[in-house]
Structure formats: structure tokens, C-alpha cells
Amino acid sequence: MASYKYHILVCGGTGCHSSQSNVIAERLNEIIADKHLENDVKVVASGCFGFCEKGPIVKIMPDNTFYVGVKPEDADIIIAEHIIKGRKVEKLLYVDPDTKKHISDSKHMGFYQKQMRIALRNCGFIDPENIEESIARGAYEGLGKVLSDMTPAECINVVKQSGLRGRGGAGFPTGLKWELCAKNSADQKYVVCNADEGDPGAFMDRSIMEGDPHSIVEAMAICGYSIGATKGLVYIRAEYPLAIKRLQIAISQAREYGLLGKDILGSGFDFDIELRYGAGAFVCGEETALIHSMEGKRGEPTFKPPFPAVSGYLAKPTNVNNVETFANVPIIITKGAEWFASIGSEKSKGTKVFALAGQINNVGLIEVPMGTTLRDIIFEIGGGIKNGREFKAVQTGGPSGGCLTKKHLDTPIDYDSLVAAGSMMGSGGMVVMDETSCMVAIAKFYLEFTCEESCGKCSPCRIGNKRMYEILDKITKGKGKMEDLEELRNLASVIKDTALCGLGQTSPNPVLSTLDNFWDEYVEHVVDHKCRAGVCKSLMRYEIDPIKCIGCGACSRVCPQDAISGEKKMAHSIDTAKCIKCGACYEKCKFGAISIK
């Protein structure tokens, strides 16, 4: 075997892949062949490193050198300088925004310092298409241990003792869920992995499947053994082609090595996994709708009970868990329940993966111990707000969650604290907003999403959300009344109480949380017809200051509506009736004469 001196890890996650990381890897391999370095250097296409803001990422081991924003043409200099001459390529190193110093070791970057990787333990470390790298890293050890040394009940007990709770949204204790399903006897049971991931902006589950698919395969088999199921199904949206491909490869490799199929590791236990594709409807992430969709029926939820543990897929007992929940299972088995339970907060154990997005410097995928504060996530890991602006709000929990404000910054992130603060954990989307976001418009955005994604089966969700949306729309157009705000609350409470499934039961949350935390902003829209963020266009007016305007005419030339007129060298003015508020004049004026009112 070649004794490699360097491994070059090139991120092969969807984000970096779409910025040509595969071309970088190809180019590196070409140069390596050209310079006869095949026995010294190995290029590995790995999963996501998380620092997507600065992708594509290339990491050189064993130096731990972290190159950011790498382009295919940089492959030459990486080989010529770093590999051949041993000199770091300074222009590709990350620059610390505060000290302006180059940082070469990712361990010293603010983005990584407060993170802890359990679910993402292998992402960005192994080649996800190579089962041998996974095995070398300890994959299937947990399955082996369970099959040779533990009874199903013992295994369930370990998961229970670990305190693991579902990462798909509601935070139901995983061990307890397994136990409920194990109790129901049937000729066939199913293990289902929920890989629908419908929250806008979320990509935690996708990254796990792309970066470490064997952890899901292994966990599903462990679950199957525990509850007495021999069949596993992964429900994954068809928009995730790379994750699908990596899972398919992982499943077929696992079969080939005897880690799926009949008589796994000589234990007599049989288990196999199939993929089922979803068309990307948010409601199909809800477990009953998901099961119907897999059965070839309409993706509509049904009333619970019966829970899937009693009557799920094809009316058989079915255990549904989220991708990230599963990703934690193998390491809980190998490292033990106490180890896992020692991490996190009192009622929320372990870590949580978040997709950090919005007006924040370090957009990307992060994993932190439960109980980390929002402040640490936003300002330490996230590097604070873009362009030095002011922090305004953070949205967690997606369309089911809420907007939290400055006063919540020291809230520890766990299931219960977030609910107490008026939001929820959800699956892990986290959108950070600055003063340029209008909270009424944000509430409207989420409701628009809900209206579009509501399956229409129950009327509170189908009609109620639509009515709420119409009221919000009115408010953003300056036509709202104070009674409307009252009506929003009434509708919200009826929908929460009466909707059939979790989608409707949580859909008013973005509205309620913004009403609670940004009441003044609603009142401003209604009473003063003003949008302080300048987002609601109907409430905006562009005005030219006649003193500052020198009459250069630049604004009138860019105006697509011919709404600006005036004599040359004389102050111009805007015809508000014609103005479509595109902002072109505002951008163009060099004299600061145009302002937004």
C-alpha cells in the first residue's frame, strides 16, 4: 500500500459541489499524476465541512490546513507550494475578520471553536462513497455490538438512558418511541427514516446523508433489531439527488459486506433498506402523511391515534425517526448512554445541528451542544451580523417556529427553553435577521409558505391560514386596522386548537411570536402607515430633497417609469403615482438627495 504523506480533502457536499469542487478534485488528481505524486498524495471527496459561506473548502491533512474559496485553477498552486515545497498558500487561508490574521488550522477559527460534532462526526472526514473508510472510522461497530452482546430490550434501554430526543421537530424521546413499537407484535414491522426535510433553508439532514450515509444505514438496522423489524424505508425528497446517490451506494456496499441482508454478522438477524422518493411537499414530512405518501396514496395526514407505532406503513407497526436522530444512535451504542447524557442540558441531551442562514457572516452548517445560547451561536460561531448592522431577530423552527429577539439572546438552545420563549427547536433551521427585515413581512412570508403547503384536508388550516394571510397582506399594504390585529390572534388560537395535524397546529406561530415581540412594528404599519425596515413597498415613498439635488438628471435617466421630472440643473421631483419603488434612482444618486420616507 502506498504510504501517503498527505490527504487532500475536497468538500463534496451539494454547496461546494455546485461551485465546482468536483472539478477541483479532478484537477488535483491530474496534477498529482503529472508530477508522479500518486504514492504520496491522496485526494478524498468528503462530506460537508459546514463552513459553506467560504466554500469550496479544501483541507490538507495531517497539517489541518483549511483552504477557503478554492477555485479549480488554485489546484496548481496548492500542489506546487503546499505539497511540494511545504509552504502554505496564504491567499487561500481564512482571514480572521477581527484580527485580520490568516488562520490556517480550522481548530483556531471562531466558527469551529464552540462547536461539537457528534451527528456530523464523520462529515468532512471520510469519503462517503467508500465503506472501508467508514468501517475504519468505527461504522457498524454499534450494530455488531448490539447483535452479538445485547438483547433488543437492552438496546432500547441504552437509547432511553442516553436521553436522545427526536431531532425532526417535536423532540419525542427516541428510546420510548422504540419501546412502544417493540411492544406491538405483528408479522411485519417497519423502520422509516424521515428524510423529507421540508423547512425552507434547512440542509442538516441532507448534509448528514451526503457526508456519512453509513451512519443512517447502521442506525436503521439497530432500530430494526430493537423493535423487531426486518425492513427499513428511507423517505427522501427527489430534490436531493446527491444524497440519494450516496445512500444508494452505501446500501449496496453494506449488502456486499454482509452488513445488510440475511443473517447479518452471523446473528440470524435479517434487515434490508429501500428508498422511497417524495415529491417535495412540506406536509409529507409529517409522519402520517409521509406514510400515506409511501403507500402511494395522497400525501395527507390522518388523525393520531392510532400512532404509527401501532398502525403505520401498510397498517403495520412502524417506527419513524428523523435522519439526525438516527445519526446519533450508533455512537450512543459504542460510547454508551452515560457519555451522551453527559452532553447538553438537563432535559435535552447531546448536540443539535443547525443550518445557519440569513444576515449573518458565517452562513453554514453547525453543531453545538444543547444548551448553547443563541448569542454564542450568532455572534461567536456565526461571526455576528453582516455589514456591521444591528441584530434584530432570529427565526428558529421554520414555518412552525417563531421569531425571537435581543431579549432572548441568552436563551439556552434546547427543546423546552425555545418553546417557553415562544418558538421551537423544529428541525434546525435558523435564520438571522437585521434591521432591514420587516417582521410583518416575515410573518407573511411564512404564512404564504403554509398556505401553499397546506394539503387542504382540514378547514382550519386550509381556510384559516388563508384568512390570516389576507389580513397580513392588508397590513403590509397600509390598509390594516387595529381590529385586524385582534382578529389575527383569534384566528391563530382557533387554528392551533382545531387543525388536524402539526402543520396547522403550529402554522400561526410565526404570526403570534412577531405579534408578541414586535407589536410596535405592527402598530406602525396600521396606524402610521410606516414600515421602518423599508420592506413593504406600498408604504414607502421616495422623495428628492430640493436642497441637495443639483439637477444632474441621473435619476430620471434610470427611472423605468419616467416618474422623475425636472429642468436641467434644477431640483427634480418624483411623481408618486407613477413610482413603482424600484429604488433605481436611490441607488444612482451620488448626492444623497433621494431618501426613503
Partner 1 sequence: MAKIKSLNDLRNMQSDLQAKINLRERADHPESMVQIKVGMATSGIASGAKEVFNYLSEELQKRNIDAIVTQTGDMGYCFAEPTIEVTLPGQEPIVFGYVNIAKAKEIIDKYIMNGELVEGIIPKNYKTID
Interface residues with ligand FMN (CB under 6 A) are: 166-170, 172, 194, 196-198, 282-283, 285-287, 320-322, 325, 427, 501-503
Asked if residue 86 binds partner 1 (CB under 8 A), the reply is yes
* Bond prior to 306 in cis (omega within 30° of 0): yes
Chain position carrying cell 438496522: 221
Among 33, 153, 239, 258, binds partner 1 (CB under 8 A): 258
With residue 315 as reference, give the H or E element that holds it: none
Chain position carrying cell 438516527: 326
DSSP 165: B
Neighbours of 260 (CB within 10 A): 25
DSSP 149: H
Q: Which of 180, 270, 260, 268 is nearest to 227 (CA)?
A: 180
- Partner that binds at residue 325, options partner 1, ligand FMN, none, CB closer than 5 to 8 Å by kind: ligand FMN
Name the minimum Å distance from CB 319 to ligand FMN.
Answer: 9
In the bound state with partner 1, the residue whose beta carbon lies nearer, of 108 and 537, is: 108
Backbone φ and ψ for 428, nearest 5 degrees, come out as 125, 15
- Partner that binds at residue 503, options ligand FMN, partner 1, none, CB closer than 5 to 8 Å by kind: ligand FMN
Terminal-to-terminal C-alpha distance of the chain: 71
- Partner that binds at residue 170, options ligand FMN, partner 1, none, CB closer than 5 to 8 Å by kind: ligand FMN
| Cell numbers given for 423 | 418558538
- Partner that binds at residue 62, options ligand FMN, partner 1, none, CB closer than 5 to 8 Å by kind: partner 1
Among 71, 87, 91, 481, binds partner 1 (CB under 8 A): 87
The Cα angle at residue 335 between residues 333 and 339, in degrees rounded to 5: 110
Asked if residue 532 binds partner 1 (CB under 8 A), the reply is no
> What distance in Å separates the CA atoms of residue 489 and residue 493, rounded to the nearest whole number?
6
> What distance in Å separates the CA atoms of residue 468 and residue 462, rounded to the nearest whole number?
11
Selected range binding partner 1 among 70-78, 174-182, 251-259, 402-410, rule: CB under 8 A:
251-259
Among 49, 111, 112, 125, binds partner 1 (CB under 8 A): 125
Name the minimum Å distance from CB 496 to ligand FMN.
Answer: 13
Name the minimum Å distance from CB 522 to ligand FMN.
Answer: 26
Name the minimum Å distance from CB 555 to ligand FMN.
Answer: 47
Three-class secondary structure of residue 594 per DSSP: strand
DSSP 337-394: HHHHHTSB-SSSBSEEEEEEEESBSS-EEEEEETT-BHHIIIIIIS-SBGGG--EEEE
* String of contacts with partner 1 for each residue 333-362, x by CB under 8 A: ------------------------------
In the bound state with ligand FMN, the residue whose beta carbon lies nearer, of 110 and 168, is: 168
- Partner that binds at residue 320, options ligand FMN, partner 1, none, CB closer than 5 to 8 Å by kind: ligand FMN
> What distance in Å separates the CA atoms of residue 146 and residue 40, rounded to the nearest whole number?
39
Neighbours of 165 (CB within 10 A): 26
Selected range binding partner 1 among 257-265, 426-434, 497-505, 527-535, rule: CB under 8 A:
257-265
Backbone φ and ψ for 115, nearest 5 degrees, come out as -90, 160
Compute CA 447 distance to the chain's CA centroid, rounded to the nearest angstrom: 19
Asked if residue 32 binds partner 1 (CB under 8 A), the reply is no
Name the minimum Å distance from CB 257 to partner 1.
Answer: 5
Name the minimum Å distance from CB 530 to ligand FMN.
Answer: 34
> What distance in Å separates the CA atoms of residue 483 and residue 498, rounded to the nearest whole number?
23
8 Å CB contact between 238 and 197: no
In the bound state with partner 1, the residue whose beta carbon lies nearer, of 144 and 280, is: 144
- Partner that binds at residue 145, options partner 1, ligand FMN, none, CB closer than 5 to 8 Å by kind: partner 1
> What distance in Å separates the CA atoms of residue 561 and residue 282, rounded to the nearest whole number?
39
Selected range binding partner 1 among 21-29, 255-263, 296-304, 515-523, rule: CB under 8 A:
255-263
Name the minimum Å distance from CB 156 to ligand FMN.
Answer: 14
Neighbours of 296 (CB within 10 A): 7
8 Å CB contact between 360 and 383: yes
8 Å CB contact between 591 and 548: yes
Q: Which amino acid is at 587?
A: E
> What distance in Å separates the CA atoms of residue 350 and residue 164, rounded to the nearest whole number?
7
Selected range binding partner 1 among 104-112, 419-427, 546-554, 566-574, rule: CB under 8 A:
104-112
Compute CA 20 distance to the chain's CA centroid, rounded to the nearest angstrom: 22
Asked if residue 513 binds partner 1 (CB under 8 A), the reply is no
Selected range binding partner 1 among 131-139, 351-359, 477-485, 536-544, rule: CB under 8 A:
131-139
In the bound state with ligand FMN, the residue whose beta carbon lies nearer, of 127 and 286, is: 286
| Cell numbers given for 266 | 452471523
Asked if residue 518 binds partner 1 (CB under 8 A), the reply is no
Selected range binding partner 1 among 128-136, 301-309, 349-357, 470-478, rule: CB under 8 A:
128-136
Compute CA 179 distance to the chain's CA centroid, rounded to the nearest angstrom: 29
- Partner that binds at residue 166, options partner 1, ligand FMN, none, CB closer than 5 to 8 Å by kind: ligand FMN
Asked if residue 257 binds partner 1 (CB under 8 A), the reply is yes
| Cell numbers given for 281 | 411537499
Asked if residue 265 binds partner 1 (CB under 8 A), the reply is yes
Selected range binding partner 1 among 98-106, 173-181, 205-213, 242-250, rule: CB under 8 A:
98-106
Asked if residue 117 binds partner 1 (CB under 8 A), the reply is no
The residue ranges that bind partner 1 (CB under 8 A) are 1, 3-7, 9, 40, 61-64, 84-88, 90, 93, 102, 104-105, 108, 125-126, 132-133, 135-138, 140-141, 144-145, 147-148, 256-259, 265-266
